[in-house]
Structure 1
Amino acid sequence: MSYTYNGTQIRVKCPVHQISVNKLKVAFADKCGQQVNTFSNNAEAKQFVDWLIQIQ
């Protein structure tokens, strides 16, 4: 699955094993490894986390 943010696709391979949030950074571990993404505001970071939780 993929999530589009500012024209860039963030690819996620289920299952997501771990999600960590620190202010504007969201890190997650999936089948392919760990990724860290930085968002421009809290609302966008929260929206991405909500999407990650829904695809579980």
Structure 2
Amino acid sequence: MVQVTFHSKIFSMGHDKYGDPKYAIYVPKSIHEKIKGLLEKEVIVIVILPDDDE
């Protein structure tokens, strides 16, 4: 099992040809080498929203 943890944001990428919304997750350049083997593979994404500091 491979596990990679990083901070990111989820962005809207418009809609697909069926009108469904598409989303993207920005992957920081610092971990590109770590995820190179994961391209085109199905992964499990767990989203954790951090508490606000305010």
TM-score when normalising by structure 1: 0.28
- Which of structures 1 and 2 has the bigger CA Rg? 2
